[in-house]
Amino acid sequence: MTSTTKKVLFSLASIALGVYAQIHKMHITGPIFDPILAACSAPHESVEAFAKATGYQPYEPVAGMGIFTPIVCVVTQFMHQLRNIYPQGYITWGLAVVGVFPMSLIMTIEGGRNGAKGPLRYPILMGIFHQLLGMSVSVPLLWVPAYIWGRGEGPVTSTRLYLSVATAIPACIFSTLVFLVDTDSYLWRLSAGILGGPMLAVVSGFALYFDVPPNKESKTAIAKHVKTSKEMYGFMTVMCLICWAALLRLTFASYGFDLKGIWSAIFADADAGVAFLTIDYILIFIAIIFGFLAYQCWATAIKTLLALPLLGPAALTIAAERLEVAASEKLLEKAKVA
């Protein structure tokens, strides 16, 4: 089987996964979120008037930056529902946030390589699609095929590596606020709105807009990239492990070691929003595995899958770091510039 054939097959498999995710998401959440979307899209004089007329939670329009205001409204209602579903809402949103950690790192790095093409190069665009479609749809449907066909090579700047970690931190902070502060406070409303709107994607995208990748044949640039990327992947791995341990502790404290009961609570018999987040988490990682397989990283893909239950998203950061170092070592051997 040729390299091109493998790319075609795994791209199609990933796209099919994205389509399945969208259909499944609509099936799970449609009955609950369609009325919310209709209410959020309908004209209303003010947020207070909206809340009084519908009984829904007030939201922060500024976070929607105009065109995305209905999405912010919907996500605010979604976050309010999760806040009131303990512990399932806390567990599954925690899964979603921790899953963003390695994705933020990988996507930011891949977008900054020499030769990267297509949507891979535009983090603002991809971030907006993540917000609109959900990552379980946008990652397999858009990002993984872009990664398979548009992947570049070589080092990225230290600025990009630092920002790849920094851009994941606000999601963690605002998520913590959403689950801790009073839901009637403006701080809660603003935090939920920022999580649902395009602000984080736009700010991080503009921060990287003028970033120029270093010479892929420079030994100095490659060596610096390896050192900094190891530090960033290591930091993100520790973050993932800490959060994963906290989620496991909450899960087992709530349900014991009854795996069937846990699955029932977070998916089979769960609230629509909780079930959606569970499938969201699973499908994102399956899609990334397709990306690994397209580049013949079979051993890495299998090890990552086996390690996921124990290490959670940290399994992905560990795998990505090893692939990063291996690719950089090959480039060092071929480097022509000091």
Write out pLDDT tens, residues 59-89: 999 999 888 899 999 999 999 999 999 999 9
Section 115-137 average pLDDT: 84
Q: For the residues 30-53, what does the mean pLDDT come to?
A: 90
User: Which is more confidently placed, 255 or 26?
Assistant: 255
Is 216 within 8 Å of 154 (Cβ atoms)?
yes
What does residue 58 show for φ and ψ, rounded to 5 degrees?
Answer: -60, 150
Q: Which residue has the tokens 């998520």?
A: 175
Mean pLDDT over residues 120-141, rounded?
85
What's the chain's average pLDDT? 89
Domain boundaries, the chain: 3-30+86-334
Rounded Cα–Cα distance for residues 26 and 248 (Å): 28
Give the pLDDT band of residue 294 (cuts 50, 70, 90): confident
CB contact burial 31-55 (16+ within 10 A = b; e otherwise): eebeebbebbeeebeebeebeeebe
Strand partners, 218: 337
Cβ-count burial of 325 within 10 angstroms (0-12 exposed, 13-18 middle, 19+ buried)? middle
CA dist., res. 155 & res. 168, Å (int) = 21
Residue 320 has pLDDT above 60, yes or no: yes
Q: Is 142 left (phi over 0), alpha (psi -120 to 50) or beta?
A: alpha
DSSP string, 40-80: HHS--S-HHHHHHHH-PPP--GGGGTTTTHHHHHHHHHHHH
Q: In the structure, what pLDDT confidence band is assigned to residue 285 with cuts at 50, 70 and 90?
A: confident
Quickly state the pLDDT bin for 288 (edges 50, 70, 90): confident
Residue 136 is predicted with a pLDDT of 87
Query: pLDDT digit string (tens) for 221-265?
Result: 889 999 999 999 999 999 999 999 999 999 999 999 999 999 999
- Of 43-57, 153-167, 195-209, 255-269, the range with the lowest mean pLDDT is 195-209
Query: Is the separation of the CB atoms in 194 and 79 below 8 Å?
Result: no
**Which pLDDT score is estimated for 28?**
85
Q: Does the structure show a pLDDT above 70 at 338?
A: no
Strand partners, 46: none
Query: Residue range 120-145: average pLDDT?
Result: 86
Question: Are 177 and 47 within 8 A, CB to CB?
Answer: no
Structure-token match 């290591």, residue found = 234
The model carries a pTM of: 0.89
Strand partners, 337: 218
pLDDT of residue 305: 87
Q: Does the pLDDT of residue 204 top 80, yes or no?
A: no
Task: Give how far Cα 43 sits from Cα of 47, 69, 70, 85, 310, Å.
Answer: 10, 11, 10, 30, 48
Instruction: Reply yes or no on whether the pLDDT at 25 is more than 80.
Output: yes
Encode pLDDT of 176-194 as tens digits: 999 999 999 999 999 999 9
Confidence of residue 296 (pLDDT cuts 50, 70, 90): low
pLDDT band at 2 (very low <50, low <70, confident <90, very high): low
Q: What is the pLDDT of residue 180?
A: 95
24 has a pLDDT exceeding 70: yes
- Local structure of residue 209 (DSSP, 8 states): T
